Amino acid sequence: MEEKVILVDKNDTKIGTEEKIKTHKEGKLHRAFSIFIFNLKGELLLQKRVNTKYHTPGLWTNTCCSHPRPGELLEKAIHRRLIEEMGIDCELKKIFSFIYKATLKNNLFEHEYDHVFIGKFDGEPNPDLTEVDDYKWISIDELEKDINKNPKKYTPWLRIIFKKILRFKLI
């Protein structure tokens, strides 16, 4: 787990580093990435966050999400973390970046300059069980219906990004 995150301004220019927990307590804007992996059937690989996570435990989310380490290139971080978390790697393509802020339980906040990537992988992941409680491949239609019916089962950033992906037909 990364101990420090990269603080950024609204243009994603680095303005410093900070302890990850402190950043989430104070709601400081920091650099992050979210990865969405699809199989040949067009299904999305979701993961269920392990119950020991300090925020959003037990919620379903996109394939992989994290923060680059201070001094680490984003292009390296996305592959490093996909391998560490899900035990897979594939070509990744950036589709957009955006800023969001979400209030979480326990007086924590996500305030991220999030870089969103997609990729294709047609196998079974080998997730790190200290990070991932479960995983599943799900159709876009099924996921959209379930997010609308049960939004609290999903992380805030997944719900936000999924709407953007659907709206722009990026998949």
Contact 92, 73 (CB under 8 A): no
Q: What are phi and psi of 149, to 5 degrees?
A: -80, -40
What residue type is 141 in one-letter code?
D
**Tokens 């990744």 -> residue:** 92
Percent helix / strand / coil, the chain, rounded to 5: 25, 35, 35
112 in catalytic set? yes
Structure tokens at 35: 């990865």
Structure tokens at 11: 């243009």
Contact 47, 134 (CB under 8 A): yes
Q: What is the DSSP letter of 36?
A: E
2 in catalytic set? no
Exactly one of 85, 110, 112, 131 is catalytic; name it. 112
Exactly one of 65, 85, 110, 131 is catalytic; name it. 65
- Which residues are marked as active site? 65, 112
